[in-house]
Structure 1
């Protein structure tokens, strides 16, 4: 089989470019906010739009409604395949067609659901996350056309932004439809719009609620304050006891790792400060590279705290406090293990004899790429050719729990996590956008990758 050159594919993508941009703009207009109901007509229309786009590319695509574990109707998924040769490698292409909500359209500079091109970027909700992933798959398949040398299976999910509750049951019920040699998950991003990356790792996540009680009921702070500390103060003490003076998490049994495959480039501190909008003078917590602190070391966050609001407060000692902790775990640590370690620490370190009760909640496993896998090397070569620069791989501090579940169900498959985002994309935030030059190079990358996989 003849291998196409990067120039061949670049010319084909350029000739198809207007269709790709129009597809993405039309996808933005679908306004497929799964938080408004994964079984809603708007989600069914979005799935139908994606179905038709892939059918036009020769994929036997169709919409299937999944079911939740309790048997209730689930998301509208788009699945399909194109078998060119039963003996050829099979590649599963994943993306999702649902998008994040827009709590306040007034925070946007443009209409969130009308794609607007400005300064080399296309703005709109879902333009990057994950309409960009759909556009990458579509553009790559169109570029290869009749030269496609691998079998293709697609899965465009309809509830990723809702935590994918029916994802695993759906996959397990349709294993034959999704079994593949290589799985490409186009739902992450690059180092920058001009520097490509494979995502090497994802942290896991575990959450739990902590209730702390000191009194049977609230009492007057003037009458009892002093020998008795209020529940909010003791909760703060309990939270702070999990850190050392450098801000490093020091809970026994919660592990840390170094970046998977080695650190090719550390993150820039000034850029990180600007992106996070840190206040002047704020010191970063923890030790080691910024990359390890963001990608592979654990991170604990108080994401909720029940306390009396300042408005209407009065002089009493709070009898109880409840807070929710979210722990991002190292990619290879089982979240259940970390959850148990955290719960044990909290109950064993109750300050001043307060009663502490821990309620375990959800768990999601992290994921680490095999940096020595053959498909990884092929993908890195394709990226370097498409972007005309060296690859700088990176981890992600967030979690995508279905990826390790895919790896569990298909242990022989090589998983590649790619994607359309870059640091300016503002996914999940106002003014979400995608770099059009980056999108073009991502399409070229995937087309090159699929072509090279056919020849391995």
Structure 2
């Protein structure tokens, strides 16, 4: 497969040569991706940090191998104001020349845990090609984003000596909350400062149509402990008069949503976004909704996903069924993950959620809220030259006009990028597609999407070098 422009005759000879270089180097890019996928670089505390270090070393070696960057290093930044260091990140830089703009390329090399290996059709860390997709944990999220940056830089350098400034920042803990991200930006602000920031960690409309992500929901996640008793008691002796923690949890949880499944927390807002049409069957197929199960919420489907809040209970600490006894449970804990609409700050949303939980705690149950994670939503200003150049590059590399899309997920660190570099244009791109199954068993990367994403980014970098900063 070769890259084809929407109108290849309109491309300059240089741009055609860049796409040809992407084609010629693609087999190498896939092998580089396979090498990264083989490293189980889970950044969570319970997993071996040596694998994250191994992954950082591998990415740094690939960056060195491009021959483009003037300096490549592996850096670790403190977590907040503590002495604890975050996971290793790769930082590679090349200064702009002759007044050209600078572009920061972001992705992350850490991955989600693989979960129950029995649910995988192929070994999670043995990259396996099946029907044009490369399967493995991190094959798409986000090691394909890493390879997109590296392969695009390599193709660019095969055609010209780039004058555009380049900074490559490959984070090592995005899947664990980017805990040292803000300090990393502060410590390396001069090296990272750019006119345009490309965040390669999002989705595409389909395997044939690219997307520029222009809206991201934020997130508020927290643990809630519910306690009703000082100790457990016999359910036969006291059941029916003494409230147990699971009863309190069930009644409290039921207040979070209305009868249609929409979030019913007063104070959470929705955004006024225009959304494309999406059929219910398309969404049901993508999400594997079982026959007979109804969708939740109201209004256009993509407004529900992009512009309205959503709430999910993602974990419960309580006795398992095999360990169940005839006991009135005195305490239990759950984790609530809430996606908030663009336009509302995470701090305001958390205040609304906390008010709701405390106001609706039944039977006077005691609540303890801990482990709060906040991430602000984001709306992209797509009017700058960076967004226009990115969309033209996507159209030329994919042979299809891109869609300006929202996503229901969150990338909380973008708020940190905005705060540290308020003048930069932020472009959220990606290599995922609706079939990627990121974070799930059987994650995979569509190789056609990967090639087109590399081509689009290489064209963007080349055309940015035609401009003055």
TM-score (ref. length: structure 1):
0.91
Structure 1 residue runs of 4 or more that deviate by more than 6 Å after TM superposition? 36-39
Mapped partners of 2:244, 2:316: distance in 1: 15
Contact 1:384 / 1:391 at 8 angstroms: preserved in 2?
yes
1:125 aligns with 2:134: no
Mapped partners of 2:93, 2:27: distance in 1: 25
Contact 1:65 / 1:73 at 8 angstroms: preserved in 2?
no
Mapped partners of 1:236, 1:4: distance in 2: 65
Q: 1:67 aligns with which of 43, 59, 77?
A: 77
Mapped partners of 1:102, 1:323: distance in 2: 22
1:162-311 equivalences under 5 Å are 162-226=176-240, 228-259=242-273, 262-263=274-275, 265-311=276-322
Offset at residue 52 of structure 1 (A): 2.3
In structure 2, the residue matched to 1:101 is 113
Paired residues, number: 452
In structure 2, the residue matched to 1:11 is 20
| 103-112 or 338-347, larger mean C-alpha shift | 103-112
Contact 1:366 / 1:401 at 8 angstroms: preserved in 2?
yes
SS at match of 1:122: strand
Tell me the C-alpha RMSD between the 2 structures. 2.4
In structure 2, the residue matched to 1:44 is 53
In structure 1, the residue matched to 2:128 is 116
In structure 2, the residue matched to 1:439 is 450
SS at match of 2:456: helix
In structure 1, the residue matched to 2:91 is 79
Mapped partners of 1:104, 1:306: distance in 2: 19
In structure 1, the residue matched to 2:359 is 348
Offset at residue 328 of structure 1 (A): 1.3
Contact 1:305 / 1:324 at 8 angstroms: preserved in 2?
yes
Q: 2:348 aligns with which of 323, 337, 360?
A: 337
Contact 1:84 / 1:150 at 8 angstroms: preserved in 2?
yes
Offset at residue 333 of structure 1 (A): 1.5
Structure 1: tracts of 5 or more residues without a match: none
In structure 2, the residue matched to 1:422 is 433
C-alpha change, 1:251 and 1:44, in structure 2 (3 Å) is closer
Mapped partners of 1:35, 1:91: distance in 2: 30
Contact 1:420 / 1:439 at 8 angstroms: preserved in 2?
yes
1:396 aligns with 2:407: yes
Offset at residue 300 of structure 1 (A): 1.2
C-alpha change, 1:127 and 1:350, in structure 2 (3 Å) is closer
Mapped partners of 1:209, 1:47: distance in 2: 32
| 302-311 or 16-25, larger mean C-alpha shift | 302-311
SS at match of 1:205: strand
Q: 1:28 aligns with which of 37, 43, 66?
A: 37
C-alpha change, 1:338 and 1:180, in structure 2 (3 Å) is same
Mapped partners of 1:356, 1:112: distance in 2: 39
Offset at residue 103 of structure 1 (A): 3.1
| 398-407 or 269-278, larger mean C-alpha shift | 269-278
C-alpha change, 1:95 and 1:306, in structure 2 (3 Å) is closer
The one-character-per-residue Cα deviations of 1:197-236 (angstroms, maximum 9, x if unpaired) are 0112222111233333444444444554445543322322
Mapped partners of 1:174, 1:331: distance in 2: 28
C-alpha change, 1:37 and 1:314, in structure 2 (3 Å) is closer
Mapped partners of 2:71, 2:434: distance in 1: 32
SS at match of 1:17: helix
C-alpha change, 1:147 and 1:36, in structure 2 (3 Å) is same
C-alpha change, 1:234 and 1:99, in structure 2 (3 Å) is closer
SS at match of 2:88: strand
Mapped partners of 1:109, 1:306: distance in 2: 29
In structure 2, the residue matched to 1:150 is 164
Mapped partners of 1:50, 1:352: distance in 2: 54
Contact 1:3 / 1:451 at 8 angstroms: preserved in 2?
no
Mapped partners of 1:310, 1:156: distance in 2: 43
C-alpha change, 1:156 and 1:216, in structure 2 (3 Å) is closer
C-alpha change, 1:16 and 1:248, in structure 2 (3 Å) is same
In structure 2, the residue matched to 1:363 is 374
Structure 2: tracts of 5 or more residues without a match: 1-10
